[in-house]
Amino acid sequence: MSRHLSSRLRFRVVALVLMVLVSIAGGCSSSRGVPKRSGADENSTRLNRSARIAYDNGQLEQSANLYRQALNRAYLRDDRKAVVDAQYNLAVCMLGLRSYDRALVWVQRAQNELLRGGQNVPTDILLLEAVALFRTGKPDDAWRISDQILTASEKLPVLVESKTHFLRGLIADQHGDTGQLGLEIDSLAASNDPGGRADRDELSGRLARAEGHWEAAIEAFDQTARLRREDQDYGEMAQALALAADACRQAGKPTMAATRYFRAGRSAVQQGNHQDAKKWLNLAVEFAGQASDESLKQEAGVYLKSIPIP
């Protein structure tokens, strides 16, 4: 849902998703880093710093490996805060890698670690769990947790509240509930941040799509992709391009659909997201054929051949 929750949700104050909706709904939190001061473990500090840099550079596998090392170091030190931080950040990385089941495992381990220490589970961790549940095909469970977040007695961080409404908008869209989707759009906090503006545009595009307003949907999804790019949320940018491509297809515009599917697939290849890349590039080939665009068809085919065979 955001670049770091995000996912993506800008994590550690709401990193997805993705992905969610991927968009629904992300990321790794600086507030969960190990402070460099007396008593700090230098190995932990170095590992967390390197993991964050890798994450920000889109190297999610490398980031996850470094956070695993940081987690082992936290176990060695019996440092509960560092354990929770590493588990949280691993969950964020797994969301970015579309490993939703593993993301759910890590965020629930973080919750268990807190509860065993007699601590409450913060709302940003609850939100991360809700995103992971949504991505694993459990939207009703995700909705239940979103209710829990919005009715919490503590004052919610603006980003957590906004990302919760974004997630609820994705769930409403999945259920075909345009009335609820409109309510969630209205509940989004006004934002000058590109990620927050992208969330509103994406939900607006989904509402336009549900109502059959294809031109409005294309415009909203194209704007979402531009804002996700500005926010350096490249996974969700590619998803937005694919949404725009689908709206172009529905509008009977194969050339525009082919171009957007190609751009989404090309970016996904570079991200290592081979499953989506293959799907989008095949659609690019299909619609380029309908549009008699042989050059795009051939270029998409080159990228398809570059995808490793599982």
pLDDT for 39 equals 59
In the chain, % of residues over pLDDT 70: 87
pLDDT for 190 equals 85
pLDDT digits (tens, 9 = 90+) for 253-297: 999 999 999 999 999 998 888 999 999 999 999 999 999 999 999
pLDDT digits (tens, 9 = 90+) for 91-101: 999 998 889 99
Encoded tokens for 151: 């009715």
Angle formed by the axes of helices 194-210 and 214-230, to 10°? Answer: 160
pLDDT for 153 equals 83
pLDDT digits (tens, 9 = 90+) for 230-242: 998 888 999 999 9
- Give me the chain's average pLDDT, please: 88
Phi, psi dihedrals of residue 153, rounded to the nearest 5°: -70, -30
DSSP 178-226: HHHHHHHHHHSPP--SHHHHHHHHHHHHHHHHHTT-HHHHHHHHHHHHH
Whether residue 13 has pLDDT greater than 80: no
C-alpha distance from residue 268 to each of 92, 211, 276, 308 (Å): 18, 29, 7, 13
Contacts of 238 (CB under 8 A, 6+ apart): 263, 264, 265, 267, 268, 271, 273, 276, 280
Domains of the chain with bracketed CATH: 1-189 (1.25.40.10), 201-310 (1.25.40.10)
Q: Give the residue carrying structure tokens 């009703």.
A: 140
Phi, psi dihedrals of residue 247, rounded to the nearest 5°: -65, -40
Model pTM score: 0.85
Residue with more model confidence, 233 or 21: 233
Give the CA count within 13 Å in the CB-facing half-sphere of 291: 21
